[in-house]
């Protein structure tokens, strides 16, 4: 069984994330969508909330499992017998950081490969940070996040003027 891991903060889940996950499902027998536990990063949603959102939006994807990563991704990949990590790239600026991470993971786990998927053109500009900023000002994020999560995300991120 060929296993791929799609790691990410998913804070919150966007349509860009869903694009990469659904495309990975066509390549691998099993896709683990992995949310890292990172105490140094201040997230808008807890790890548990992000995992629940991911389970909701991937419920109809039979070969997807949602999990969290506590520790190094290279160790996690070895433990799960994964063939590769799958990362979406929006722009050339993403590549430099992701390439550095891929080389580091390869050094830590030589059996581990990284597969880069270019984001679909309609999601090329999209990031969780952008969604948070738009929602924070009460903007319409309905074109950027899965419809089933829209209310939950807006409730958390929308700051109304007092």
Please enumerate, by residue number, every residue annotated as part of a binding site for ATP: 9-10, 17, 88-90, 98, 123-129
Q: What is the CA radius of gyration of the chain?
A: 16
41 is catalytic: yes
90 is catalytic: yes
Residue 131 CA, distance from chain mean position: 14
| Positions at the binding site for substrate | 9, 41, 73, 87
d(CA 63, CA 28): 8
Is residue 120 flagged as an active site residue?
no
C-alpha 85/C-alpha 47 separation (Å) is 20
Say which of 80, 90, 106, 132 is annotated catalytic. Answer: 90
Give the whole-angstrom CA distance, residue 5 versus residue 60. 18
Question: Which listed residue (41, 42, 143, 159) is catalytic?
Answer: 41
Binding site residues, as ranges? Answer: 9-10, 17, 41, 73, 87-90, 98, 123-129
Stretch (H or E) spanning 66: strand 64-69
| Residue 128 annotated to the active site | yes
Indicate which residues carry an active-site annotation.
Answer: 17, 41, 90, 128
């Amino acid at each position: 069984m060929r296993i791929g891991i799609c790691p990410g903060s998913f804070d919150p889940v966007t349509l860009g994330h869903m694009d990469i996950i659904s495309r990975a499902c066509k390549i691998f027998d099993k896709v683990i969508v992995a949310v890292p536990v990172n105490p140094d990063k201040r997230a808008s949603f807890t790890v548990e909330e992000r995992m629940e959102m991911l389970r909701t939006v991937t419920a109809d994807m039979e070969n997807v499992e949602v999990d969290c990563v506590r520790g190094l991704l290279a160790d996690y990949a070895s433990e799960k017998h994964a063939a590769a990590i799958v990362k979406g790239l929006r722009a050339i600026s993403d590549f430099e950081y992701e390439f550095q991470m891929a080389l580091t993971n390869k050094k830590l786990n030589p059996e581990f490969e990284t597969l880069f998927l270019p984001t679909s053109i309609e999601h090329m500009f999209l990031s969780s940070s952008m969604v948070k900023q738009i929602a924070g000002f009460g903007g319409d994020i309905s074109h950027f996040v899965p419809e089933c999560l829209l209310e939950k995300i807006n409730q958390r991120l929308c700051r109304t003027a007092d």
